[in-house]
Structure formats: C-alpha cells, structure tokens
Structure 1
Amino acid sequence: MKAIVYDRPRHFELAELPVPEPGQGEVLVKVLVAGVCGTDAHLHEGEFGPTYPLTPGHEVSGVIAAVGAGVSTPAVGDRVVFDNTASCGRCPECRRGRPAFCHHILAQGVNAPGGFAEYVLTDADRCFVVSDLDPEVAVFAEPVACVVHGLDVLAMQPGDRVLLFGAGPTGLVLAQLLRASGAGDVTVAAPTQAKLDLAAARGADHVVLIERSDPWSSGDRLRAVAGDGFDVVIDATGSVGVLDQTISLLRVGGTMLVYGMAAENARWSIPPYEVFRRELVIKGSFAQQFAFDRSLAALRGGRVDTSGMITHRFDLEHYADALAAVADSSCIKAVIVPTSATAATGTTEERGDS
C-alpha cells in the first residue's frame, strides 16, 4: 500500500508498505477520506511530539476491509470513523478521567501510524459505524469532537456574548455549536471575507474582517459590537498577534479560551494585573475526550453543517500540496483521498467525479 512516511521533521516520502493484517481485536480500515489540519502542519515541523517513522493523519473516514480475531462489530463493509487515541486506563491522569493526558497514550497520526495511507489498522472498540453518513461528512467527526470537548472546558453560560477569532473549519464548527449551546450572540472575526460569509450563513450574528498583519486595527470595530466587552473570547487561530488583543476585549469576569494551536516556542504577553483586577479566567482546550458520540449526533442532526467546507482534495502523491493548502487563505478544509481513481489534486471545482 502507499503511505506518507516521515523519518524526521520536514522530510517525508510516499512509501510502498505491506498492507497490515489485523490482530486480536483490531480492524483494517481502507481510508476513504483523511482530513488535513493545522496539527499536521505542526507535526511537519517536528512539533506536537511525533515519533518516527511516522505516518500522520488523525481525521479518518473509511470502510472496514478486514477484521481480526474476536471482532464481531464493526463488520467488513461498514463505513467507520475512529477515535485516534488509546489510553492506558491506569496512570494518574487516566484515573482522573483525563485520557488525553495519559502518560502512555497512543495517538494515531502522532506517535503511531495514521490515515495518510491507503489502509490503517485500529482497534475495533475505538470505531464508530457511520454508514449513514457521507464519508466527506464523517471525516469531520474528530475535529467536531475536539470542539465539543472545548465547549465542555469553556462551560459557557446561556446568553453569553462570544467573540471567536478564526473562520477556518474549526472556527465554523465552533460558531455553529456555540449558537446551538445557548450563546446569546456570536461574533466571528477573521481576515478572509469568503470564510466570514460562510460563518454568517452558518448563524454568526456579526462578522468582522480583520487585517492578518495587524489584528489590533480591528479593536475599535470589535468593541463597538460588545460595548463593555465580551463574556467569552475564543482564539481558534494560534496567532500570538491575535492572542495579544484578547484580554482587552473581555468584560469583567470574562473567560478567554485558547483553542488554536500556536507554535511550541511562541510566547503570549498576558497582563497579570488585568486578570487580577477584573477577575478574568483563562482556559485551554487540548484534544477531545469522551466526545465522539456527541460529535456524530451533531453531524447527524444537522447542528453542524459541513457543506461547502471541504474546498481542496488531494491524492497521496500531492500530499505536499495539501500541506501548503492548509496555510492558504482560500482553503477552508483540505482532505486526502488516497484512492487515486477518486482523488483530485486541487480545489473542489477541479475534482473529478467519483
């Protein structure tokens, strides 16, 4: 089978590997669609704890090609998504109900083989059958699960006024679930008008175009929306330039949620006196925990509408182009379609019929 394989940061090849055979309790998944996200860009740079050799890809929608001993469900032919993480269940963090921080975590696409390949092995008990969902909808299960966990961490109050920086795939999912979770008012700020238009169509109450090179220039327009400040400010960009203005936009007692992934060596200047004087709260959201079932419920029930969000499709041979697309403002969501007969090498408009 073909697979993307890294042997060190920034160095990968399209390798030919044996198709793995499922063992006890395992299933072999033929990858139909695999999402490319900002985490993959960080992994490309050697951040986020990669283990080599590495096949990345943690957002996977596929079909069961074979099952190992002891597996009764899912069955061959079922379309599935799977939780890419497996925790030990015994370490201190697992015993406190925080499996994403397991001391021995296995994370497919990070320290174990992931989905930028034609086939991937995973545990049967981490699979969710999604034969009722289009594979290009099901591939959003993992990122939506991460958003669900982020909202768990946020613990937003009904009626809160929310400012969200970022209108990429995560921002668009956040905007929809914030509204569905009881936000009184949602403002989305981003530097790309087409993405803001999509956010507005998905239910954002206000959209504000900001300058990518100078986020501070939008401060007055954002304050005009909120008056005395926002109850919640969420950064889904990972940009320090954006983070630097978030504290000033919070109202007394407000909450800042750091959702976007910044570079590991990035530093954010937080005014401690403001946190103290105005009793501000700063939270972080790392990765999904106990959220796949709710993610799929949101996708099935239409609370999250992914139509129009996949803008770029690539085959494995064009993986480098897929990485580049993630940083392109014209791209909302890029995916890998490993089977060359159904894959495209560019935007939605360039995609061939499958």
Structure 2
Amino acid sequence: MRAVVYDRPQEFAIREVPVRDPGAGEVRIRVLQSGVCGTDLHIHEGGFIADYPLTPGHETVGIVDAVGAAIDGLSVGEHVVINPNLTCGRCEHCRAGQPRFCPSFGGLGTLLPGGFAEYLVAPQAQVFSAEGLSPDVAVFAEPAACAVHGIEVLKPRPGTSALVVGTGATGLLLAQLIAHAGAARVTVASIAADQLATATALGLDATYLMDRDRLADDITALKALSGNGFDYVVDATGVARVQEATIALAQPGATILWYGVANERDRVSVSPYDVFRRELTITGSFSEIDTVPAALAMLRAGRIRTDGLITHRFPLERYGEALDAVRTDPTAHKVMLVP
C-alpha cells in the first residue's frame, strides 16, 4: 500500500509499505479520508510526542477491511472512525483515572502508523461504528471529541458569554458546543473572513475580523463588543501572543482556556497580580481519551454541524501541498488527505 512515511522531522516520502494483517483484537481499515490539522504541522517539525519513522494521520474515517481473532461488534464493510489515543493502563495516572497524563501517552499517527495511508490497523477498542453518517461528517469525530473534552474542562455556566479566538475546524466545533452547553452568547474572532462567514452560517452569535498586526486594537474592540470582557475566553489558534491577549479579554472571575496547540518553546507574559486580583482561571485542554462516543452522538444529533468546513482535498501524492494549505492558504478551512 502507499503511505506517507517520515524518516525524521521535515523529511517524508510517499512509499509502498506492506499491508499488515490484523492480529487478535485488531481491525484493518481501508482509509476513505483523513483530516490534516495543525497538530500535523507540529509533527512535521518534530514536535508533539512524535516518534520516527512515522506515518502520521489521526483524524480518520474508513471501512473495515479485515478483522483479527476475538473481534465482535464490528463487521467487514462497516464504516468506522478511530480514536487514535492510547495509554498504558498501568501507570499511576492511568490507575487514578487520569490517562491523558500517562507517560506513555501516544497512539496512531504519533507513535504508531496512522491514517495518511491506504490502510490502517487499530485495536478494536479504538474503533467506533460510523454507520449512518456521511464520511464528510464522520471524519470530524476525533476533533469533535477533543472539543467535547474542552467543554469538560471549561464547564460553561448557563447564561454566560464566551469568546473563541480562532475559527479553524476545531475552534468552530468547540464554539458550537459552548453554545449548546448554555452560553447565552458566543462570539468568534479570526483573521480569516471566509471562516467567519462559515461561523455565521453555523449559527454562532457574533463574529469579529481580527488583524494580528493590530492586536491591541482588536482587544479594545472586542472588549467594547462584550461590555467588559467575556466570562469564557478560548484560544484556538496556538499562537502565543494571541494566547497572552486572551487574559486582557477576560472579565473578573473568567475562565481562560488555551485550546490551540502552541510551539513547545513559546512563552507568554502573565501578571500574577492580575490573575490574583481578578480571580482568573487559566487552564488547558490537552487531548481526548474517551469522548469519541459523545462526539459521535453530537454529530448524529446535529448538535455539532460540519457544513462548509471541508474546503480542500488532496491525494497522498500531494501531501506536501496539503501541509502547505494548512500552513499558509487563507482559503483553507479543513484539509483532507484522500488515499
């Protein structure tokens, strides 16, 4: 089969690699498409717990192609999605019910071969039926599961206001969930006018077009738009200076969620007195572990809509172009790699 293979950071090729038969408790999946996201850019550069050589791809929808021994509940020909994240199940964090802090945390597309290939082998426990969902909806199961975990961390109260900065696919999935969790008004801000138009079409309350070269002006305008700041401020960009700006956009008693994946070397400046005096909460949301079923339920119910999010599709051979689109193309919203 063909697959994207990295020998080391920034160095990849499209290669013919053996198709592995599934072992006991494993399922082989023929990949229909996999989403390319900002995390894949970090993996390309050697970040985000990646281990090389590696085939990336962690947002995958496909069809069961073969099953190993001791498989029940899944059938050949069934449409499925993948929870890519694996933990050891034995360390103190796993045994304490905090598996996302497992020192062995990793999975398909980071430590094991992922979905940027024609076939993928996964443990049955990581495979979920997507029957009845369009592949263009089901492929959002993993980013939607991350958004569900973001809600678990954020815990929005009914009747509150929220701002989500960054309108990539995961930002808009999270913004929708914040609205359904009870926020009275959800504003999204972005440098991408096309993505803000999609946000409006998805039913979000207000949008604001940013200019990161005039971030101080953006802060002033957004604070005026909200009255006195927001109850919840979410960064979905992973850009350090934008994350730093979220503190100024929070009203007293607010919760600030840094949801976007920042560079590991980035640093921000925070006034501890400001956090103390205004009783601010600054928190993060690392990854989903067990929220794929909830995400699938929300996708099936239409509580999370994905209309208009997919803008670009590339074959495996044009993987480099797919990365460039995610990195630099202002018209790219969600990019798909299609074997």
Query: Does the Cα contact within 8 Å between 1:23 and 1:68 map onto a contact in 2?
Result: yes
In structure 1, the residue matched to 2:135 is: 135
- Residue of structure 1 in register with 2:291 after alignment: 291
Query: 1:155-234 residue pairs with structure 2 within 5 A?
Result: 155-234=155-234
1:36-76 per-residue CA deviation (whole Å, 9 max, x = no partner) reads 00000000000011111100000010001000011122111
Contact 2:85 2:289 (C-alpha < 8 Å) held by counterparts? no
Equivalent residue number for residue 333 of structure 1: 334
Moved more, 103-112 or 116-125: 103-112
Structure 2 CA distance for aligned equivalents of residues 217 and 106 of structure 1: 40
Aligned residues: CA RMSD: 1.0
Give the corresponding residue for 2:90.
Answer: 90
* Contact 1:85/1:108, CA 8 A, preserved across alignment: yes
Q: Determine helix, strand or coil for the equivalent of 2:295.
A: helix
In the other structure, the counterpart of 1:351 is: none
Residues in 2 aligned to 1:262 and 1:215: alpha-carbon distance in whole angstroms: 18
| Letter in structure 2 aligned against 1:168 | G
- Determine the structure 2 residue equivalent to 1:262: 262
Q: Is the 8 A contact 2:202 2:307 kept in 1?
A: no
Answering whether residue 110 of structure 2 is matched by residue 104 of structure 1, we say no
Letter in 1 for 2:224: A
Unaligned runs of at least 5 residues, structure 1: 339-354
State the one-letter code of the partner of 2:331. S
| Structure 2 unmatched ranges of 5 or more | none
AA paired with 1:216?
A
Q: What's 1:319 paired with?
A: 319
Deviations 1:246-305 (A, max 9, x none): 111111111100000111101111111100111110010000122111100111011111
Whole-angstrom CA distance in 1 between matches of 2:124 and 2:315 = 26
**Residue equivalent to 1:347:** none
Instruction: Report the TM-score when normalising by structure 1.
Output: 0.94
> Which digits, 9 at most, give the CA deviation of each residue in 1:103-136, with x for residues without a partner?
2234110011100000010011221111211111
Could you say which residue in structure 2 is the equivalent of 1:344? none
Alpha-carbon contact 1:179-1:203 (below 8 Å) kept: no
Aligned to 2:78: 78
More divergent stretch after superposition (39-48 vs 88-97):
88-97
Letter in 1 for 2:337: I
Give the Cα separation in 2 of the matches to 1:63 and 1:333: 21
In structure 1, distance between residues paired with 2:100 and 2:61: 21
Show the counterpart of 1:346: none
Aligned AA for 2:281?
V
User: What whole-Å deviation, never above 9, does each CA across 1:122-154 have from its counterpart, x for those lacking one?
Assistant: 011221111211111101000000000011011
Query: Do structure 1's residue 306 and structure 2's residue 306 form an aligned pair?
Result: yes
Q: Partner amino acid for 2:110? A: V
Normalising by structure 2, what TM-score?
0.98
Q: Partner residue of 1:61?
A: 61
**Are the aligned partners of 1:214 and 1:241 in contact in 2 as well (CA < 8 Å)?**
no
Secondary structure of 2:290's counterpart equals coil
Secondary structure at 2:213's aligned position in 1? coil
The percent of aligned pairs where both chains have the same amino acid is: 49
Q: Is the 8 A contact 1:34 1:60 kept in 2?
A: yes
* Native 8 Å contact 1:310 1:334 kept in 2: yes
Higher deviation after alignment, 237-246 or 291-300: 237-246
Q: Residue by residue, what CA displacement relative to the aligned partner does 1:59-107 show, whole Å, maximum 9, x if unpaired?
A: 0100010000111221110110021122222111111212222222341
1:42 aligned partner: 42
Amino acid at match of 2:334: K
* Other-structure match for 1:349: none
| Structure 1 residue identity aligned to 2:195 | K
Amino acid at match of 1:52: Y
What code does the residue aligned with 1:82 have?
I
Partner of 1:343: none
Q: Which amino acid aligns with 1:251?
A: Q
Q: Is the 8 A contact 2:157 2:183 kept in 1?
A: yes
1:297-354: CA deviation from partner (whole Å, max 9, x where unpaired): 111011111111100000000000000111222100001110xxxxxxxxxxxxxxxx
Q: Distance in 2 between matches of 1:243 and 1:167?
A: 14
Paired with 1:214 and 1:242, the residues of 2 have a C-alpha distance of 11
Q: Distance in 1 between matches of 2:20 and 2:117?
A: 11
